[in-house]
Structure 1
Amino acid sequence: MTGRRSGRERTSATSEAAAGPDGGTALDRVKLLAARYRAAADRPYLASALYSLSIVPSTGVSTMGVDRHWRCYVSAAFVDATPVPELAGVWIHEVAHLLRDHHRRADRLPASAQGDRLRVNIAQDCEINDDLLADGLALPEGRVEPGTFGQPAGRLFEEYLPLLPPQATDVDCGSGAHGRPAPWEADGAGPAARLSPVEAEALRRHTAEGMRAHQRTRGDLPAGWRRWADQVLEPTVDWRRVLAGAVREAVAWAGGAVDYTYRRPSRRTSALNGVVLPSLRRPLPRVAIVIDTSASMGEDDLAAVLAEVTGVLREVGVRGNRVAVLACDADVQTVSRVTSTEQISLAGGGGTDLRVGIREALAGPERPGVVIVLTDGFTPWPEEPSSSRLIAVLVGTDPPAPPSWIETVRLG
């Protein structure tokens, strides 16, 4: 990825005149590229992203800015006036706008907020610069950071935006930041290379993976970048919605079988004198909840998760004596049919083998249609599926995955 982009950029370099655009100051490319090299060498996890930026000399931009297509507009006068260490910091600042997907995040703001693009830009600069300064990067004088406005560090730009004063400053990093084309972006209509949205997304993931590897080997990745990499590689999912969907689907699947009953005669009975026809019914299935109560599980966390599960079951319509709860470590400790979580005893604290609890749940006189297992995942699992639907609700950090045939919901 890096090599291909570098080659394209070298090809386009011959089209840039020694004199600057419109006869202005010539761009000192040697200095500019030296600053990018320094940024990439000091933060190698950003190298691919930095070398994917196409350089566009511009007389319209006052410093440096980026558009949505990963083109970096550069003022020759700014390059002349800025030392290489600070230029390296600006390179990282600009690529951070694109890596953090600021322009698409800005598109999701309310229309009233989108209209004030410069204020959005300042909020984004606050999100970026506190991380860069904490990482020891040099930035030019006049940069903004959360402390400029009396705000704490470590927040997202969406949080800073309503806290900023109107007309905070006139910094404009381009549509790659606030999402609205800047007047000077027309300079980029020429041969400068563009990055497609698909390429950009692949580059974000590649960069996040590089950050993960750097964190494992060096352990000095700034907190803001760690949070960003985690979000890219493990997007936040509303696990309650996923759990509710899984339970509803499982209950509908298990309750799909129909049977005949004479408790409610068929409506066709009245058409036949002396004949009573049965009606079809689709009963709600019974549900078993197997709770891992081994020593590795915390009671408070389990109680909170169990409350969520029973809440979902109530929404679906499964409650009361249709729900059995089994507390299990290496053996089944308690079995109860409950109407509220307060009635459940989470006994246990030994080793872990939840196959015992699953077997007992399925062996009861009233076989459940759905078995929900709450665990940290450190347990043996059944070797093959049964006729009942099995859902594993995994808690804790980095739980091991169950077999692929078990439907899995990760809490996070």
Structure 2
Amino acid sequence: MNSGAASSGAASSGAASSGAASSGAVRPPLDRTKLLAARFRAAQDRPYLASALFALSVVESAEVPTMAVDRAWRCYVNAGFVDRIPVPQLAGVWIHEVAHLLRDHHGRAERLPTVDQRDRARVNIAQDCEINDDLVRDRLSLPPGHVTPATFDQPDGKLFEWYLPHIPPSPECPRCGSGAYGGAEPWDLAPTAGSRVSPAEAQAIRRYTAEAVRAYERSRGTIPAGWKRWADDILEPTVDWRQVLAGSVRQAIAWASGAVDYTYRRPSRRSAAQTRVVLPSMQRPSPTVAIVVDTSGSMSDDDLAAAMAEVAGVLREVGVRGNRVTVLSCDAAVGAVRRIARAEDLELVGGGGTDMRVGIAAALAQPVRPHVVIVLTDGHTPWPDEPPAARVVAGLIGATPPEPPGWIESVRIT
């Protein structure tokens, strides 16, 4: 296991039991009554975790040092470990192991850089820090040797990805299983063997448990901060504004690129077969973009710089750059109008009131009318009464920006 590290102390004792088994000593039978009594106690003490706890299936294994889980929600148990640990601590281990699965630690671990994925010991310790601060604060009993953020002089309440860089190399190897740090363990059953929980079922269990956490908080008001944050993330997932902004800009550029039209600038090749008739050819325009930046006094330079960097990055990715990008600084009037190749070249002027109608009108009045207008503003501005002849995407900066008209595609930049 590594009861939230019970690995630190328990891993060595688990290894001893494995060694005893290999030397020919008779292994004690698994005390299922004690093991399941500990799970029942855990479910009684923390009823919001009951459904998740009882979704775990038990697999006895002499290879696992203590207790461990896999991504199919199978809990591998060492009989000697169960024999040594009292029921209150065993209940804490149950909650620790199911927390790895509820928090999708294996999925998150597999999104780490490759060099970190290989260092399973440090990943497991960091995950234990994320879990055990809540368990200790919740006055749950854990086996000796468990780690907490304080073990490494780190604050409580962080995610394991935050703790990982602060965990030193460790000779001890926590073994909470592939359900914690990903990959596979030698004791894991085949994916189709035995009782298992599918990914879709696992997600349903997470959502049901998150709802139970909220219900328990409303009735008792005693939920550890980590569980509350986890439930909020499950029930109200936060989408990174950078991804949303990038998607909106890409969609607008694709829409403009698909606007195929006829042109006489280059006659059709079929004109040669006609007498005294010039046929137009088809043309797919190269999208042009105007970025209207709100430089009124209510806008922070840091916010503007972050938003501009993201927009510039997206435009580079889709191939819109150089003289096809125009940037206009605007407060109550239009300041500088420049074509730029890099976000670093931007110079914003302004600082007065706010009227984005002026900026949008100036963008559309450019010699080359833009196909897409991106407006970066705090939203406290009047907007045009009617949709202009261009796609408009508004990046709304700040905590509570007012909503623009419905014809504007808006992205909240927090």
TM-score (ref. length: structure 1): 0.68
Percent of pairs identical after alignment? 49
Q: Which residue of 1 aligns with 2:256?
A: 254
Shift of 1:94: 0.4
Residue 134 of structure 2 corresponds to residue 128 of structure 1: no
The structural deviation recorded for 1:392 is 1.9
Matched, 1:369 2:375: no
- Could you report, residue by residue, the CA deviation over 1:247-269 in whole angstroms, capped at 9, with x for unpaired residues? 3543453353445355x788899
The letter for the 1-side match of 2:38 is L
> Residues 223, 334 of structure 1: CA spacing in aligned structure 2 closer, same or farther, 3 A cutoff?
farther
TM-score normalized with structure 2 length: 0.68
Does the CA contact (< 8 Å) of 1:32 and 1:79 recur in 2?
no
Match of 1:172 in 2: 175
- The structure 1 residue matched to 2:43, chosen from 25, 37, 43, is 37
Equivalent in the alignment of 2:203: 201
**8 Å contact from structure 2 (residues 293, 377) kept in 1:** yes
Q: Any conservation in 2 of the 1:96–1:128 contact (CA below 8 Å)?
A: yes
Q: Secondary structure at the match of 1:338?
A: strand
CA distance in 2 between partners of 1:399 and 1:209 (Å): 29
Worse-matched range after superposition: 379-388 or 250-259: 379-388
Decide whether aligned partners of structure 1 residues 49 and 385 sit closer, same or farther in structure 2, where only a CA change above 3 A counts.
farther
Aligned partner (choices 348, 353, 374) of residue 352 of structure 2: 348
CA RMSD of aligned residues (A): 4.9
Distance 1:151 1:297, change over 3 A: closer
Which whole-Å CA distance do the structure 2 matches of 1:131 and 1:148 have between them?
14
On the 8 A contact 1:291/1:327 being kept in 2, the answer is yes
- When residues 123 and 303 of structure 1 are mapped into structure 2, their CA distance, relative to the original with a 3 A threshold, is closer
With over 3 angstroms needed to count, the CA separation of the structure-2 counterparts of 1:355 and 1:86, relative to structure 1, is farther
Counterparts of residues 110-149 of structure 1 (less than 5 Å): 120-146=123-149, 148=151
Q: Distance in 2 between matches of 1:200 and 1:37?
A: 18
Q: CA deviation at 1:139?
A: 1.6
Verify: 1:94 aligned to 2:97, yes or no: yes
Gaps of 5+ in 1: 1-20
1:319 and 1:137 mapped to 2: Cα distance? 60
Report the alpha carbon displacement of residue 36 of structure 1 after superposing the two structures with TM: 1.5
CA deviation digits over 1:82-126, x for unaligned, max 9?
445433322221011112222334445677766665565344334
- Give the equivalent residue in structure 1 for 2:164: 160
Change (3 A) 1:53 1:368: same
Contact 1:260 1:279 in 2 (8 A): yes
Q: CA deviation at 1:195?
A: 1.4
Shift of 1:298: 2.4
**Helix, strand or coil at the partner of 2:179:** helix
Instruction: Compute the displacement of 1:133 (Å).
Output: 3.1
Distance 1:320 1:288 in 2: 11
Kindly provide the amino acid, as one letter, of the partner of residue 374 in structure 2: I
Q: Which amino acid aligns with 2:176?
A: C
Which residue of 1 is the match for residue 394 of structure 2?
Answer: 392
Aligned counterparts of 2:294 and 2:109: Cα–Cα separation in 1:
43
Matched, 1:333 2:299: no
Aligned to 2:5: none
Aligned to 2:24: none
For residues 112 and 228 of structure 1, what CA distance do their matches in structure 2 show?
30
Tell me the equivalent position of 1:234.
Answer: 237
Q: May I ask how many residue pairs the two structures share in their alignment?
A: 380
Once the two structures are superposed, the pairs formed by residues 243-392 of structure 1 within 5 Å of their partners are: 243-244=245-246, 246-254=248-256, 256-258=259-261, 260=263, 283-292=285-294, 296-310=298-312, 312-313=314-315, 316-319=319-322, 323=326, 325=328, 327-328=330-331, 332-339=332-339, 342-349=346-353, 354=356, 358=360, 361-362=363-364, 367-377=369-379, 385-392=387-394
Residue 274 to residue 66, structure 1, CA distance change in 2 (3 Å): closer
Between the aligned partners of 1:286 and 1:51, the Cα distance in structure 2 is 57
Q: Secondary structure at the residue paired with 2:339?
A: coil
- Change in Cα spacing, 1:273 to 1:89, as seen in structure 2 (3 Å) is same
**1:250/1:110 CA distance change after superposition, 3 Å:** closer
The AA in structure 2 aligned to 1:254 is A
Matched AA of 1:344 = L
